[in-house]
Structure 1
Amino acid sequence: MEEIIAKYSAYLAPVLAFAITYFSIPAIIRLSLVKKLYDQPDERKKHNARISPLGGMAIFGGMIISFVFCTAHLSNPALNSVLVGLFVLFITGVKDDLYPLVPYKKMLGQLLAVAVVVIQGDVRLVSFYGLFGVNELPYAISVALSIVFFLGIINSFNFIDGINGLSAGIGVVISVTYAVVFDYLHNDLFLILALCIVGSQLAFLRFNLVNAKIFMGDSGSMILGFLVALLSISFLQINELSEQFLLKKIDALVFAFAVMIIPVVDTIRVVFIRLFILRRSPFAADRNHIHHALLDIGLSHVQASLSLMAINVSFVVLAYFLNDYLRATYLFISLSLLALLLSQLPFIIKRQQKRLGIYKPST
């Protein structure tokens, strides 16, 4: 039996993750209705229905159970640290979903989870591989940058979780990409992890993308961001050591950036606006995100989410195929400028609609 599971674990993992998440969500929705655990509308969220914010519980359960079950035959020195970090983030997220935490308390939970993985698990950005002339990083700088990277990606998914299907949809795009990558690199552990994420997110999308009945909440978005950061750093580490590497080291770093382009660029521009233009907290609620602008110019939640997913896929394909034609530094700069330009288009269209008198703000 164990040999069969080991052989077909990569096929079993996403199916099991999907099934556990799919069949858990209705029970969580009923529990939320009975206990009156509803997501409260704010400046970001304008819904009126009584919607549970506890989808992260089903996502976490589906992903973690399927991953542990399907990787029993595999080992990794960082695995225990990763599991500890996931549980810390999950507890922090559920607490925030039920009784909202002030930003610094939530950040402390994130910092603890990340520190365990970076310091104890040694999951770190060890080099810039020559990007901008930077190669090996001193240990202290490596640890500091890795913690900042993890925190940034965690909060970027927390930030984009503002419309139906977007965080989960982008999570599917990124996880499918890394599943293909790790399959090519013959790394079964992270292949299975990526597929478990795909399975749990697809099940969640069934209840969230159209006529949302549940939200993933902070417990779901923070875990998803954490896992995306983990997959990205692990890809760089594994690709560097592999005899059959997918991309040259420096190109792999740019590729990883392209894979996460939507949450990264949206977070950078929103934080810049809040800090330097509005002069307020980077965690203050507003509607300056790209997805909010897409709603404001007339797109539905489904259309906005699918559009951003398609753009994310386009950047992944672009980064991979331009790899042979542009030096990595130029490719990085080109992708960054293109992403920033595209991120402004909905806001330009919005201003044009206002000028023509045809602007109808979303509700």
Structure 2
Amino acid sequence: MAVYFITFAVALAITLIATPLVKKLAIAWGVVDQPDHRKVHTRIMPRMGGLAIYLAFAVCFFLFVPQTSEALGIFIGGTIIVLTGMLDDKYQLSPKMKMLGQLIAAIVVIGFGLRVEFINLPFDDDQVYFAWLSIPVTIFWLVGVTNAVNLIDGLDGLAAGVSGIAITATMIMAFLMGNSLAIILSIILLGAVIGFLFFNFHPAKIFMGDTGALFLGFNLAALSILGFKQLTLIAFIVPILILGVPLSDTFYAIIRRIVNKKPISQPDKNHLHHCLLSMGYSHRKTVLIIYGISALFALSAVVFSQSTLWGAAMIIGLVLILLELGSEVIGLMGKKNRPLLRIARQIKLKYRLANRR
């Protein structure tokens, strides 16, 4: 157990030391974020701060992590992601070039043996093997989660904090399952993220940029596969719950753009943090609210994993209802698309009319 505390402390210390140096490097290279109509900040900010997180991860990886095939695949894939993010932070890569880097990283991870292999059915002992489908399923998950975390990187400390909460939940699950590799990788990432938050929480001194957001998303996706690659059908929900905030925000963004007949890749200002800001919450309060939502998702994932089949079904049903209600109250789908609230108003109106009689 002592090695875990040492690993955490080393990752934290390296990030605390490296972040100011990376900030100077970003300014020297001209890797800065210019304010525009979509962004909340109003002054030029250095980005590429995720490089400090990666440096802490790299040093701790070679000091503390067993050099298994899967671990090396995650490290090499993460390195490719960091290089892709750095190039994007500096040169604003096209979406196709960013996607190419993510696909290469995902293929590397799969080549080193990390993939979703099969699902155990909950009502009997049968197993459904993915066979060749394991490759596209794994790529879809890795690329999808990587971009989901990147999409929520819109406020100071938001992506780092949400990722930290998700990493903590993953670490708890790894302890429950006795997965030592997932535990040590989670501890390294958690130490690095907390160290970076000292400089990234509002008011931020540096942004993590795509370098950090893509790297954290990629590692969260890889860790979830590492911990849940041989799944029961019910346990398949656990990593989705852990990553509930970025995945749900991405889901609603896709649906919103389809409903409004806009390209899926077209950015907008209707993400979760934008909606909370428009409701009058301050920058810091908005971030803390989303932290709370993320923590609830993480807690539900841990409880879900320890529940019976019917208990798990009830939890997921409750989560889905609360998710839809919350999205309608906040306005993630716009003011017109609020079916549950519309039904609730109709029921309330009928109740009032009935009482008048």
Q: Where does residue 341 of structure 1 map in the other structure?
A: 325
Q: CA deviation at 1:30?
A: 2.3
Cα–Cα, structure 1 residues 53 and 328, in superposed 2: closer, same or farther, change >3 Å?
same
For residues 96-148 of structure 1, the C-alpha deviation after alignment (integer angstroms, 9 at most, x for no partner) is 00010110110010011011112x12222223433799952432222111111
2:291 maps to a residue whose letter is: M
1:97·1:217 contact (CA, 8 Å) conserved in 2?
A: yes
1:41 corresponds to: 35
Structure 2 counterpart SS, 1:78: helix
Cα RMSD over matched residues?
Answer: 2.5
- 1:348 to 1:255, Cα distance in 2 relative to 1, 3 A: closer
Asked if structure 2 preserves the Cα contact closer than 8 Å seen for 1:43 and 1:285, the reply is no
Give the direction of change, closer, same or farther, for the CA distance of 1:132–1:86 in structure 2 (3 Å limit).
farther
- Give, in angstroms, the shift of residue 346 of structure 1: 1.6
Give the counterpart letter for 1:30 in structure 2: K
In structure 2, distance between residues paired with 1:132 and 1:225: 33
- Give the stretch that moved more between structures: 206-215 or 298-307: 298-307
Shift of 1:43: 4.2
Does 2:58 align with 1:67? no
Map of 1:114 onto structure 2: 106
* Aligned counterpart, 1:156: 148
- Structure 1 residues 122 and 329 mapped into 2: Cα distance closer, same or farther (>3 Å)? farther
- Tell which deviates more after alignment, 193-202 or 337-346: 337-346
Q: Aligned-pair distance for 1:326?
A: 2.7
Give deviations 1:287-312, integer Å, cap 9, x for gaps.
11011101111112221122112112
Could you state the TM-score of these two structures normalised by the residue count of structure 1? 0.84
Give TM-score, length-normalised by structure 2.
Answer: 0.86
Candidates 251, 268, 281, aligned match of 1:299: 281
Write the letter of the residue equivalent to 1:265: S
Residues 82 and 320 (structure 1 numbering): CA distance in 2 closer, same or farther, change over 3 Å? closer
Question: Which digits, 9 at most, give the CA deviation of each residue in 1:36-69, with x for residues without a partner?
Answer: 3311234431322221111111111112211221
1:11 to partner: Cα distance: 1.2
SS in 1 for 2:23: helix
Contact 1:155 1:222 in 2 (8 A): yes
Does residue 313 (structure 1) correspond to residue 295 (structure 2)? The answer is yes
Moved more, 105-114 or 330-339: 330-339
Q: Which ranges of structure 1 fall in alignment gaps of 5 or more residues?
A: 1-6, 241-248, 353-363
Aligned CA distance change for structure 1 residues 131 and 112 (closer, same or farther; 3 Å): farther
User: Aligned pair in 2 of structure 1 residues 228, 54: CA closer, same or farther (>3 Å)?
Assistant: same
Range with bigger deviation, 152-161 or 283-292: 283-292
**How far off is 1:348 after superposition?**
8.1
What are the within-5 Å matches in structure 2 for residues 241-280 of structure 1? 249-274=232-257, 276-280=258-262
Deviations 1:144-195 (A, max 9, x none): 1111111110000010001111111111111111222222333322211101
- Of 229, 235, 251, the match for 2:221: 229
Whether the aligned pair in 2 keeps the contact of 1:254 and 1:328 (CA below 8 Å) is no
2:11 aligned residue:
17
Q: 1:333 to 1:129 in 2, by over 3 A?
A: farther
Whether the aligned pair in 2 keeps the contact of 1:51 and 1:214 (CA below 8 Å) is: yes
Please name the residue that 1:212 is paired with. 204
Q: Retained in 1: the 8 A contact 2:174–2:180?
A: yes
Residue in 1 aligned with 2:120? 129
Matched length: 333
Whole-Å Cα distance in 1 between the matches of residues 127 and 277 of structure 2? 42
Moved more, 37-46 or 288-297: 37-46
Q: Which position in structure 1 is the counterpart of 2:178?
A: 186
Residues 144 and 43 of structure 1: CA distance in aligned 2, closer, same or farther (over 3 Å)? farther
Asked if structure 1 preserves the Cα contact closer than 8 Å seen for 2:242 and 2:297, the reply is yes
Cα 1:330–1:46, aligned 2, differ >3 Å: closer, same or farther? same
CA distance in 2, matches of 1:266, 1:123: 27
Distance 1:343 1:129 in 2: 32
Q: Determine if contact 1:89/1:223 at 8 Å carries over to the other structure.
A: yes
Deviation at 1:86, TM superposition (A): 1.0
- After superposition, what is the alpha-carbon deviation per residue over 1:242-283, rounded to whole angstroms, capped at 9, x for unaligned? xxxxxxx33322222211111111101101222x12333322
C-alpha displacement of 1:225 = 0.5
Deviations 1:222-244 (A, max 9, x none): 11011111111111137x6xxxx
Distance change in 2, residues 1:129/1:299 (3 Å): farther
Could you give the per-residue CA deviations for residues 187-225 of structure 1, whole angstroms, max 9, x where no partner exists? Answer: 322211101111111111111112111111111011101
CA separation in 1, counterparts of 2:171 and 2:276?
29
**Is the 1:54–1:216 Cα contact (8 Å) retained in structure 2?**
yes
| Unpaired segments ≥5 residues, structure 2 | 337-357
Q: Matched residue of 1:332: which SS? A: helix
When Rg is computed on C-alpha atoms for both structures, the one with the higher figure is 2
Moved more, 80-89 or 134-143: 134-143
Residues in 2 aligned to 1:350 and 1:306: alpha-carbon distance in whole angstroms: 23
Note if contact 1:250-1:328 (Cα within 8 Å) is conserved in structure 2: no
Show the counterpart of 1:177. 169
